[in-house]
Each structure stands twice: as C-alpha cells, then as structure tokens.
Structure 1
Amino acid sequence: MLKKVVLAGGTGFVGRYFEQHFRNLGYEVMIISRQTPHIGWEDKQGIKEAIDHSDMLINLAGKTVNCRYNEKSRKEILESRTDTTEVLGLAVEQCENPPSLWINSSTATIYRHAEDQPMTEGKGEIGSGFSVDVAKAWERSFFGFQLPKTRQIALRIAIVLGDGGVMTPYRNLVKFGLGGHQGSGNQKFSWIHIEDLFNIVLFLRKNEGLEGVFNCSAPNPVTNRELMAQLRRAMNKKVGLPSPAPMLAMGAFFMGTETELILKSRWVMPERLIKEGYPFTFNHLDEALGQILKSSMG
C-alpha cells in the first residue's frame, strides 16, 4: 500500500517542491488548500479522512508575510497560521489511526534581531514585535495539542532558497543593477536550501526519538553584504548599487511590502540538527546559489 503524506497549505513554493519529491519517493500526496481541486479548509470530514492512516502530516499553511502590515493583513497573517493549525490538531485527535509524525512550520523570525551572537534552540532569545507575536502564537496553538500517538515537531525555518520564492526579487535587484547591500549590510541572512529542507523532514521522520523545536537553517549564515556580493558574482554582475534604509522604506512602500523582511538580522544556527548528525547538502551559500541558478537556466 502506498504511504500517504498530507501537505496542508501545499500549493506554495515549498509545498509544490515537497509534493513533487514525495511523489518521486512513491508517496500518495493529499493536499489541503484554499485552491481547488484540493481538500478545502472548511471540509472538516475530508481533512480527517485524509489525515487518518497517513504516515506524516506537514503543515506549511500561512498567508505570505510579503505584504504591508496593515490591520487586515496582520489579522490574515496570524489567523492563516493559528486557525489552520487548530483545524489540523482537532482532526488528528479524531483519527482512529493518527500519523506518527506531525511537522508544523514555524519561523526563524521568532528570535530577536541579532548581530552579536547566533540564536540556537537552547540559547536563542525570543524577540518582540508583530512577526514574533505571530510565531509565538503559531507554536502555542501547535504545542497546545497533547497527542500521545503523534510526535510533534515545529520547524523554525530560515529564508528558503530555491528556484522561485524569495530568489525572484533578489535576482531582479541584481539584474537591474540594484544588487548592492541593503541598509547597513551587516544584518545576518540565515538561509536554507529547499533540498535540505525536504531532506530534514525525511531525517526527522526516520529518527523517531526526535520532537520539539528545530531550527532549519544552513550552518553558515552570511551578512546581507556577502549575500548580495555572492549573488552578483553568481550572476556575473560587476556593479550593484546599495540601498540605504530610507530608500528601502520608500521602495517597500511602493512594492507593498515591509523593510523588516530585508533589514532584520536573522542569525540562526541549526544546533539540534548538527548535534543529531543531519548531513547538510548545502553548507555554504555559494554552493546553493550556484545550484539554483544552474537549475533555473537548465
């Protein structure tokens, strides 16, 4: 019988990659999404039936944070994470044969702005502000469920690099000669290659003693200055104009987003994954960028 995996919010950049790679491994993939033809979030019975007898439940649902944080957006960003997590938890509780593993997305943004020291699962300091409040509420709603037959793992995911997603705007900046550093350029950029993110899920599936919170980031974060320099190098662009913070604020306003996404220093270390022996495929940013640019041209 085919093993079954349920991807909640499985139609985004990460979800599409996961779907394809799980299918390649011979899994039956069920997707819960607002988009047809998938199982809708209001279809509680359909959700329960999908999750029952599944091998793994992975929740990637959540409205993009790449928008202006007005009141309406803030409400949608929060509820699209906590409400979906609640729906899934209630469904798991009703399953006769619940999945042995439920992985819920969280975000590396839960930690404070850090230019002085790396944030690990054990010693990381939780930050403050809207994005952090969302992350805390998200993890609270997830770990609020006591599920004796299901391991629960929250992935505090750094910026995911792959063919699509955040790489698109960064490549456009470089292409149009604006690929210099942003703000001071000293803010840390913690990242993870999408292939490692997928392999981490398989690693956590296999290691049945693991649960709780895991930082999902490559072991070698870079500064924003290094990120832009490596991108220019990978794309053969000699010149990149830097963007001082006031200019970014204006640009972000016109692009309908927030500068926090670029200016917050995210210095996150995957201490637990390293300790448990997860072998990263992409340890260094230049390897990741090289692979992504090659595959998007191929």
Structure 2
Amino acid sequence: MKIIIAAGTGFLGRNLEEYFKEKGNQVYILTRKPKRKNEFHWDAKTLGEWKNLLENADVLINLTGKSVDCRYTEKSKREIYSSRINSTKVLRKAVDYCTNKPKLWLNASSATIYIHSETQMNTEENGIIGDDFSMNICKSWEKEFFSPDHEDVRKVALRTSIVLGNNGGAFPKLKLITKAGLGGKQGNGNQKVSWIHIVDFCKAIDHIIDHENISGIINITAPNPLSNEELMMELRKQIKISFGLNAAVWQLELASVFLKTETELLLKSRNVYPERLITSGFRFLYPNIESAFKNLLQPFTSAKTKDF
C-alpha cells in the first residue's frame, strides 16, 4: 500500500511508519522539518507540493495537533484548536485536488470527547459527549473532518485513549515517577484510565484498513479501563516498588503550574470501551494492564517489539 502520515514524526507516527514498513508498504511522512527521503515539508495549513503525494494513495492518516500537555492559556487554546482544524481543512482541499483520491482517510480524534465518568462506560453508540474546552475541541475537529463528505473516500475518526509505549507518550513518565517513589494515586484515584498498548494501536489501524465496512467513529482503546489507583498499584507491582506517595488535588494543581501542564490530563475519568473494534473481530494482544506492563517492562523491549 501507499500510506501517507501527516505529522508522522511523533510517537504514534514513528511506530505506525515502522509497523507498516515492516509489512512491505510505502510510507510517506508530512512534517514541518523533513530530514529523510520519505519526508516532505508541509506547514499543516497551506497547500504545497506535498499534495501530489495523495494521488493514488491507499491510506491517509492525519495525526496533526498541538500537544494538550501544556497550560491552557488563551494562546495555547487557540493553537490547540487551529492546529487540528486547519490541518484537516487543508488535507480536505488536497484530497479534492486528487483525480484518484485516497481510498481511506483516518483522522485523529480523542477519547477525551466523552464526559468525566467513573461508572458510565462510553461506547461509540451510547457514549455521552459533554461541553467543555477539551470536548468542544474534539467535536469541532470531527465536524470539520466529516463535513463536507467525500463519497468516494472512506473516513474514520480515531477516538484514541492513552497509548502506552517505551519510546514516547505517557508511559516513560509514569515509569520514572514510580521508580522515584511517587507512584501513588493522583487525586482520589477513582478516575478511570482508558489506555492501549502501542502494538495494539498499530494493529487496530491495520484492522480498520483491512475492514472496508468500518467507517465513521471508532474508539481506539483496550477493553479494560481501570481506576488510576489500580493502574498505579499494578505498575508498582511490576516494577517491584513497594510504595508510592499519593498526590492530593491541591498538590497536583501546584505542580501543574511548574510543569506547565493541566491537571485534567490526570484527573479526568476516561471510561471508554472499543465496542466497534471488538464486534468487527479485532483481537487485542494486550487486553489488560498487567499483560501490557509486563511486555513494556521486559529488558530491551522497544517500539519494534517482536509482536509487530
């Protein structure tokens, strides 16, 4: 296949590139700072020569968006919004230019589109979507993606949970604070954590590509969310750390100022279930957190795990 990954130099993009290259596919990356032969410059808001890559592409994957791991200043909010909306808009223009359009367009979204819930399990069909900054960003993002529709392009919005891997994302930070003795619960610890192993993330994307009946919204997450307290307890167990200091909400609020982030990333309860993946026949290699942590903590385990 010919696969285009927009913003493909980050954690998810690097792993997807490796996964699909190992299967013999051609992978091209759109990035602000191209360094390799398969990387092409784009600024995520204006058309350029890169648009020619989309001609006869099998898959277009858009992962563009300013990281939400920042303080939600008015400037940051504007950048979080515009980076997602503008990149989706310009990709739509590029798709419109194509004589032979990409067969499939996968666009990033987020499991944070659902409300804070410790009891309500959010599937694609019954998930409850609320009204705050983060949820409204996701709603606007998906609206821009699906409208106007391209009848001859299959579109899938990826409502992705926290992705766990050794070469980026949240897991290296979680491992670091746990080894430092700070791996207790955050807040009351009841907030649900939805997550997925990086290998299952890549395989889920592959599954969607292979199953032409899948379109629209899909939750990209493991089937067993667990509480923050349970998550940290299991990580301490796997690392063989007997204790972990808890962090009260006021301590997290104070620390978030110095770390230039927001407590929402730790305290929001994301209780999400991958109903469409499962009903379409997808099988997780790491369905529970114990198996995921065991794999990630193996000596010399890397992004190119043998499970690829």
User: Normalising by structure 1, what TM-score?
Assistant: 0.96
Deviation at 1:112, TM superposition (A): 0.3
2:111 is the counterpart of 1:113: no
Deviation at 1:4, TM superposition (A): 1.1
Of 22, 35, 38, which residue of structure 2 is paired with 1:24? 22
Partner of 1:4: 2
Deviation at 1:238, TM superposition (A): 0.5
Deviation at 1:279, TM superposition (A): 0.8
Partner of 1:76: 79
Does the CA contact (< 8 Å) of 1:115 and 1:188 recur in 2?
A: yes
Deviation at 1:297, TM superposition (A): 5.5
Partner of 1:182: 186
Partner of 1:66: 69
Deviation at 1:47, TM superposition (A): 2.6
Matching residue's letter, 1:25: K
Does the CA contact (< 8 Å) of 2:295 and 2:301 recur in 1?
A: no
- The alignment partner of 1:31 has SS state of strand
Unaligned runs of 5+ in 1: none
Of 142, 154, 171, which residue of structure 2 is paired with 1:139? 142
For the residues of structure 1 that align with 2:24 and 2:123, how far apart are their CA atoms?
34
Of 44, 48, 69, which residue of structure 1 is paired with 2:47? 44
Deviations 1:251-284 (A, max 9, x none): 1111110000000000001111111111111100
Partner of 2:306: none
Does the CA contact (< 8 Å) of 1:41 and 1:84 recur in 2?
A: no
Of 195, 201, 212, which residue of structure 2 is paired with 1:191? 195
Give the share of equivalent positions with the same residue, in percent. Answer: 43
User: Normalising by structure 2, what TM-score?
Assistant: 0.93
- The alignment partner of 1:93 has SS state of helix
Deviation at 1:35, TM superposition (A): 1.9
For the residues of structure 2 that align with 1:66 and 1:295, how far apart are their CA atoms?
28
Matching residue's letter, 1:227: L
Which sits farther off after the overlay, 36-45 or 174-183? 36-45
Task: Provide the alpha-carbon RMSD of the alignment.
Answer: 1.2
Deviation at 1:224, TM superposition (A): 0.1
2:209 is the counterpart of 1:209: no
- The alignment partner of 1:67 has SS state of coil
Partner of 1:126: 129
Deviation at 1:296, TM superposition (A): 4.8
**Superposition map of 1:121-270 within 5 A:** 121-163=124-166, 164-270=168-274
Matching residue's letter, 1:273: L
Aligned residues: 296
- The alignment partner of 1:39 has SS state of strand
Judged with a 3 Å threshold, the aligned counterparts in structure 2 of structure 1 residues 233 and 131 are, in CA distance, closer, same or farther, namely same
